[in-house]
Structure 1
Amino acid sequence: MMPTVHEDGKHRGRTRYTLVETEHGHAWGVCAGAEGLFGEPRRGAYELFGWVPQTEVRSWVGSRVWLVPEDKALDPWLLEDAESLGQQPGTDSLVLTGLDDYEGPPEGFRGPVRVHDKHRWLGSCREIARALPADQPALPLVLRGLAPSDQLRAALAKGTRRALDLEQATLEIQDDHGEPLTDRLLWARVGAWRPSSYGTDLFDLEFDGGLFAPVPEYARPVWERWFAGPPDTPGAWAGFDTRLRGAWHDLVRERGCRRTHSDRPAGHSYELDGQHITDEPGLYLAIGEAVNGPGGYFGGCLDALVDCLRGTFGYTAPATLLWRDAATAREHLSRVLAPEGQSYDLFAEVLDVLTEGGMNVTLA
């Protein structure tokens, strides 16, 4: 008998992945494996002509790199998870790539820009142009060992192009304990399906990879750690570099924002271990663990921190916070750059936000 998935969700805790129809919320199926979950997202590329460096540009440039036009009438734009392809041979140009879905230069812009990574100016160029990245075919997303719902089984039996276009769906992802971890949106267009080696009456379904943004390959070790379940000791992220700390915080945020928190009563005393706060992800990871324990979430930027202090994220004002090794954060975060390039003190601003939110902070 073919295994089925019912909309009551009884099967969801037994497997890693559940494919859910977005509009009405019914499950298309559950499975244990997802090939193609990790890969290389499509990145924008920019060539910076006449590059004048102010500091060394590494292969990984930064999680948030701002390109600031010399023309003050234009806003800066953002490259997330920016990488450098280095100086082009025989030229004075530098090529940067990054995720730029939400920001970008005006159409046809080719003016001079300055570039910073939120902490220092990296350099400037006399002209910038969007480059065409190498054509890289998108690998399919394959759900292996899928137990289909009645609706999906009927769609596969029909087999028409229209029936196999499942439209927008969510791939819900659980950890080894069956607890929700995160999810990913995709346009679920079935390209192929076949019987699965995972078990009788299970299927391997292949979806068009061009309609799914994979998790960056570099984040795989962080995800694999979280697949085993949330950390049981604080500071499990401390040995990671800034890039992997950012990937760790992404999962902390996505998991934390879908969980129900029990707010502690007013007057609670918190303690923050500040010895590893050498970057912005480390700052918010340490604050999250101080309030909500190992793997806990309590903001990822100043605005999110304000929201968390207002309640429903484990905290009730007023309270006290003992911030140990505060000098580490002060050393690394007292001078950061806003998108336009102005310097500000992030460490001081976090203290102000905590104080205004009813947290009496003692630095040690």
Structure 2
Amino acid sequence: MIPPVHGKRDHRGRERYVLTDTRHGHVWGVCKAVGGLFGEPRRGTYELFGWVPDDDVRGWLSGRVWLVPDDGALEPWLLEDAESLGPLPGSDSLVLTGQDDYKGPPEGHRGLVRAHDGSRWLGSCREFARVLPPERAAPPLVLRGLDQGDRLRTALRTGTRRALDLEQAVLEIRDARGEPLTDRLLWATVRDWGPSSYGADLIDLELGGESFTPVPMYAQPVWERWFAGPPDTPGAWAGFDTRRREVWLDLVRDRACRRTRRDRPAAHAYELEGRRITDEPGLYLALGEAVNGPGGYFGGCIDALTDCLRGSFGHTAPATLLWRDAATARERLSRNLAPGGRPFDLFAEVLDVLAEGGMRVTLV
């Protein structure tokens, strides 16, 4: 049976979702709402034995926590969106969870490991092990009010297992204005379908969720803000915490990659409002708005900023940038740690990159 919808329902059809075949590019269908878009992604869980804290470690820690082997024999390991579950009762262990598919630590590493979140050392442990989570069924993805393409209609009519395996697809997500916002890759296997309450000739299509990574629940307020369309005033992200600012930056980056833009002529004068730059994502969000207006993108890390300065992202060298309230960023972003733990000054590094890219910065 098709389960209740967990995503946002909008009978006015303001959100548009397009399921597209990645191999041939044909559209399987267009729908009005998606159930299961938001959820709790699977996370790696680690027990850090013999934990010695250097700082308070509670709750959500950072978008990036690096685990650095003390002997230097191995590269640092990355846990994204890391969260501390606190000490394990009756032990000297700390439990961390995070997204570790990219550079997660090896199983059962022994030897001193230090942990930092990019700005402070959190502590150290003598060894750690991955805690296997209990098996749980992946929730389905339900496309509500789906207007079927001809190929999907044929597949459903055929009804065989092979026909219902739509293989790799992308769920393209547009805002209320119909502009591309972001997308999600999945392996689309049809489980069930039936008439939809959204209208005649529309169906609700249930896809298996085993290969789909849901958008975390904490990101939903940011996504819903963007579903309505891009912001029309600067600083709409300022009220969010660092975790949700990173979500905002991801959407800004995805949207920018789907849009064409013209570079402003050389000698343009930009202004950056710096009082909201209290963390790293805030830095790049403010830079993006200074160059490309509300919801604009101009890099999300040092390498991306360097690329943007080379052109095709709104800027033509030489140019000038008036950075107001620069003291806020200087205070918050001058003491950082590279993945291996080397101290560096992100504020100064950004100024150097801007200067090398032909943007003369005046700090006030």
Q: Is the TM value for this pair above 0.5?
A: yes
Which residue is equivalent to 1:31? 31
Unmatched 5+ residue regions in structure 2?
Answer: 1-12
**Separation (CA, whole Å) in 1 of partners of 2:132 and 2:93:** 15
Letter in 2 for 1:211: S
Q: Secondary structure at the match of 1:111?
A: strand
Which residue is equivalent to 2:60? 60
The 5-angstrom pairing of residues 280-359 of structure 1 reads 280-359=280-359
Query: Judging changes above 3 Å, is the alpha-carbon distance between structure 1 residues 82 and 14 closer, same or farther for their aligned structure 2 residues?
Result: closer
What's the TM-score once normalised by structure 1's chain length? 0.95
Q: What are the superposed Cα offsets for residues 62-110 of structure 1, whole Å, 9 maximum, x if unpaired?
A: 1100011122110111000011111111111011010011102235423
Unmatched 5+ residue regions in structure 1?
Answer: 1-12
Q: Secondary structure at the match of 1:278?
A: coil
**Separation (CA, whole Å) in 2 of partners of 1:253 and 1:202:** 33
Which residue is equivalent to 2:265? 265
Query: Are 1:15 and 1:30, in contact at CA under 8 Å, matched by a contact in 2?
Result: no
**Separation (CA, whole Å) in 1 of partners of 2:62 and 2:15:** 35
Letter in 1 for 2:228: A
Which residue is equivalent to 1:151? 151
Query: Judging changes above 3 Å, is the alpha-carbon distance between structure 1 residues 137 and 112 closer, same or farther for their aligned structure 2 residues?
Result: farther
Which residue is equivalent to 1:206? 206
Which residue is equivalent to 1:111? 111
Letter in 2 for 1:179: E
Offset of 1:315 from its aligned partner? Answer: 0.6
Letter in 1 for 2:358: G
Offset of 1:165 from its aligned partner? Answer: 0.5
Query: Are 1:17 and 1:174, in contact at CA under 8 Å, matched by a contact in 2?
Result: yes
Query: Judging changes above 3 Å, is the alpha-carbon distance between structure 1 residues 200 and 281 closer, same or farther for their aligned structure 2 residues?
Result: same
Query: Are 1:46 and 1:96, in contact at CA under 8 Å, matched by a contact in 2?
Result: yes
Number of equivalences: 352
Q: What are the superposed Cα offsets for residues 7-54 of structure 1, whole Å, 9 maximum, x if unpaired?
A: xxxxxx985100000011110000001000001111111100111111
**Separation (CA, whole Å) in 2 of partners of 1:257 and 1:86:** 39
Q: What are the superposed Cα offsets for residues 276-320 of structure 1, whole Å, 9 maximum, x if unpaired?
A: 111000000000000000000000000000000000001100000
Q: Secondary structure at the match of 2:329?
A: helix
Which residue is equivalent to 2:136? 136
What's the TM-score once normalised by structure 2's chain length? 0.95
Q: What are the superposed Cα offsets for residues 217-254 of structure 1, whole Å, 9 maximum, x if unpaired?
A: 10000000000100000000111110010011110010
Letter in 1 for 2:256: G
**Separation (CA, whole Å) in 2 of partners of 1:58 and 1:175:** 36
**Separation (CA, whole Å) in 2 of partners of 1:215 and 1:122:** 27
Which residue is equivalent to 1:241? 241
Identity %, equivalent residues: 75
Offset of 1:61 from its aligned partner? Answer: 1.1
Q: Secondary structure at the match of 1:248?
A: helix
Matched, 1:254 2:235: no
Matched, 1:182 2:182: yes
**Separation (CA, whole Å) in 2 of partners of 1:249 and 1:186:** 22
Which residue is equivalent to 1:100? 100
Query: Judging changes above 3 Å, is the alpha-carbon distance between structure 1 residues 15 and 327 closer, same or farther for their aligned structure 2 residues?
Result: closer
**Separation (CA, whole Å) in 2 of partners of 1:15 and 1:21:** 20
Matched, 1:43 2:47: no
